[in-house]
Amino acid sequence: MRQMRKTVSHRHVLISGFLNILYPSLCPVCGNPSDSWRYSPVCSRCWSKTKKYEGPSCPVCAMPLSSEYSSVCGQCLKEKPPYAKAFFYGLYEGVLAEAVNQLKFNGLKRLSKPLGRFLLDVELPPFDGIVPVPLSLKGLRERGFNQSLLLARVVSKHVKVPLLMDILFKKKDTSPQIGLSKKERLSNLKGAFEVKGDIGGLRLLLIDDVMTTGATATECSKMLMKAGAKEVIVLIIARASMM
């Protein structure tokens, strides 16, 4: 078995090297040639620098905090979100942000596997089903895939929990969220999602790629709870700073 693993690993190195010769690219982080098809265009050296965030964060929305002595953030004290708790792997910066952007905006779907494996390093409470944050029909047609669904598939496959991809839908297209405050984002997303199917009494894991203000997670969780879910926990790859 060990010899087989070594053979497979050696084969992967050879294939990666061959593909990188055919399709050379430069790492967008350091500018050196990419040396791994699995992480390309990010080089393996930069990829290895991606680390799990271990600093202080809000125990509810996962907002990174400046002090380890801080407790719940002001936003959650003011208004508790409909989800029970949010979890994330790392900060939306550096290599991790670049990898997420390459997946999301440049269509490099192969990055969903190594990024999805990062989510497996996050310790989570028990859950009954996995729900990816959906795209609208127009958004899906334009992008060609749902990055949250790709990430959710990796998690579902490894933890052996059902992927509920036909439960939560985005029924209307919305304006881009970039540059909007949380209040504006919530207003923008109001009425955008709907739930179909029976989720009564289920603890659900809602998966997305990036969280900034938490508006998307809030609106999706609100609809899932309204439809009868017992609890919703949120899992994301990268947490950005609150606007």
Statement to judge: residues 22 and 132 lie in one domain: no
Residue 217 near residue 188 (C-beta atoms within 8 A) = no
Statement to judge: residues 82 and 12 lie in one domain: no
Statement to judge: residues 211 and 107 lie in one domain: yes
Average pLDDT of each block of 10 consecutive residues along the chain (243 residues)? 45 51 73 86 92 93 83 90 97 95 92 96 97 94 95 98 96 72 73 93 98 93 98 97 59
| pLDDT at residue number 6 | 46
Nearest CA-CA partner of 47 in 59, 62, 57, 37: 37
Statement to judge: residues 207 and 115 lie in one domain: yes
| pLDDT at residue number 227 | 97
Domain count, the chain: 2
State how far the Cα of 238 lies from the Cα of 95, in Å rounded to an integer: 11
Nearest CA-CA partner of 167 in 140, 205, 138, 141: 205
Exposure letters 174-213 (e unless 16+ CB within 10 A, then b)? beebeebebeebbebbeebbebeeebeebbbbbbbbbbbb
| pLDDT at residue number 15 | 52
Statement to judge: residues 160 and 90 lie in one domain: yes
Statement to judge: residues 133 and 201 lie in one domain: yes
- Final residue of a structural domain among 31, 49, 67: 49
| pLDDT at residue number 177 | 67
Helices (H) and strands (E) in the chain, counts: 9, 6
| pLDDT at residue number 7 | 47
Statement to judge: residues 145 and 75 lie in one domain: yes
Domain of residue 40, residue span: 1-49
Whole-model pTM?
Answer: 0.87
| pLDDT at residue number 4 | 41
CATH classification of the domain holding 134? 3.40.50
Residue 225 near residue 82 (C-beta atoms within 8 A) = yes
| pLDDT at residue number 179 | 65
Statement to judge: residues 138 and 187 lie in one domain: yes
